[in-house]
Chain A
Amino acid sequence: MSARVRLWVFLLACLCVVPAVIHVARRMPEFGAHPLPYGDAINARATRERHVTNMVSAVNFDYRGIDTLGEEFMLLCAVTGTTVLLRGTRPQPLADRPGQVAGREVRPASDAVVLICRMFGAAILVFGLYIALHAMTTPGGGFQGGVIIASGFMLIYLGEGYRGWRGLMRPELLDAAEGAGATLYAVAGFAAMAAGLPFLTNFLPLGQPKDVFSGGLMLVENVGVALAVAGGFAVLFVEFLKETRTEQNGEDS
């Protein structure tokens, strides 16, 4: 199928679908003014039942906890697939020098970039840790905190350069962190079963609302998610940045 035919088929399909889209959009409930029964039910009773003040975390880790378990294992599978693809087919041992791109010379890092990244890399890591740990009280959680910690790792890469950064990011630790996070979530669920309750029941003491350590089993699940997301993204960054290195025995200048 040539490109032009493909485009015409696509436009024809759009022409057939657009009347249906308009028909549905007119019958959608009015934006911002329709009843939200499930959301109102959770907002009304989650603080009383689970002693947390962040409703989104309550939904993620307690009311719909098994969906988050599935999502976390999807993350594990995607990172595993990427790692297998990139590590398994790397043709030659790689050096630490960056590869050459045609028509562009290699410049040393600028002082301003190094200074700012060194200052803010550590600050962003601490901020990510704060966001990840305050899941039950204020906006935040394992997913958000994990990605912010991964951004902090990236700032450290920009500030220290590849060699110093690889010294800090040991692949064994990152793989272990990612696997430990996913395992922790699953173990939390099975611990509830060992206590005779259904899978992922919140059987730990719930604590006080507005306290950092409230929520019972949700805290354990939150830590698992933060470890898995931070470790997973860090592994992805290491693997992709290893791809930009040149081969070991290359004779290029």
Chain B
Amino acid sequence: MTALIVILLLLSAATGTGVVLSRIPTRQVLALAANGLVLALLFMALQAPDVAFSELAVGTVATPLLFLAVLASIHMVRRTGKPEQE
């Protein structure tokens, strides 16, 4: 087992923990993007380039973007004038 795989496995455990421990959703989005990036690197080290493609495009772009759009919609000021509760 190479040192690279060991380091990336430990790093992915750390970023996964970071996603769970970021309780504020706007900050969790960045943790999700970092987790996606580290997982893509781990999949490359495990000799899986197809999987790394998928994880990179989905985990760093599509998923954080959907989260941000939902957060923006929830925090919008609606017609009644008062901000939405969380």
CB of A58 to closest CB in B, whole Å: 12
Which of these, A144, A154, A236, A251, contacts B54 with CB under 8 Å? A144
Q: Decide if B53 touches A101 in the complex (CB within 8 Å).
A: no
Contact A99–B72 (Cβ < 8 Å): yes
Q: Is the interface of A mostly helix, strand, loop or mixed?
A: mixed
Chain A residues whose C-beta falls within 8 Å of the C-beta of B53 in the assembled complex: 131, 139-140, 144, 148
User: Is A49 an interface residue when CB atoms closer than 8 A count as contact?
Assistant: no
Q: Are B65 and A147 in contact (CB-based, < 8 A)?
A: no
Asked whether A68 is an interface residue with its Cβ less than 8 Å from the other chain, the reply is: no
Q: Is B4's CB within 8 Å of the partner chain A?
A: no
Query: Among A141, A154, A236, which residue has its beta carbon within 8 angstroms of that of B50?
Result: A141
Query: Per-residue 0/1 for A122-146: is the Cβ within 8 Å of any B Cβ (1 yes, 0 no)?
Result: 0000000001000000011101100
In the complex, the number of residue pairs spanning A and B with C-beta atoms less than 8 Å apart equals 75
| Proximity bits, A240-253, B CB within 8 Å = 1, else 0 | 11011011011110
Chain B positions within 8 Å of A53 at CB level: none
- Judge whether A76 is part of the interface by a CB distance below 8 angstroms: no
Separation of A241 and B72 alpha carbons in the complex (Å):
9
Q: How far is the CB of B85 from chain A (nearest CB, A)?
A: 11
B14 within 8 A of A: no
Which residue from chain B places its CB closest to the CB of A135 in the assembled complex?
B50
- Given A31-B1, A141-B50, A154-B61, residue A101 in contact with residue B66 (CB < 8 A): no
B: interface residue count bin: 20 to 34
Q: Look across to chain A and name the residue whose beta carbon is closest to the beta carbon of B60.
A: A151
Identify the closest chain A residue to B48 (Cβ): A56
Q: Which chain B residues in 49-81 approach chain A with CB under 8 Å?
A: 49-50, 53-54, 57-58, 61-62, 65-66, 69-70, 72-73, 75-79, 81
Cβ proximity bits A211-253 to B, threshold 8 Å, 1 near / 0 not: 0000000000000000000000100110011011011011110
Contact between B57 and A102 (Cβ–Cβ < 8 Å)?
no
Which chain A residue shows the least CB distance to B53?
A144
Residues of A within 8 A of B72 (CB): 99, 101, 244
Other-chain residue from B49, B65, B83 in contact with A237 (beta carbon distance below 8 A) = B65
10 A-B pairs with CB atoms under 8 Å apart are A99-B78, A131-B53, A141-B50, A150-B61, A151-B61, A237-B69, A240-B69, A243-B69, A247-B78, A249-B79
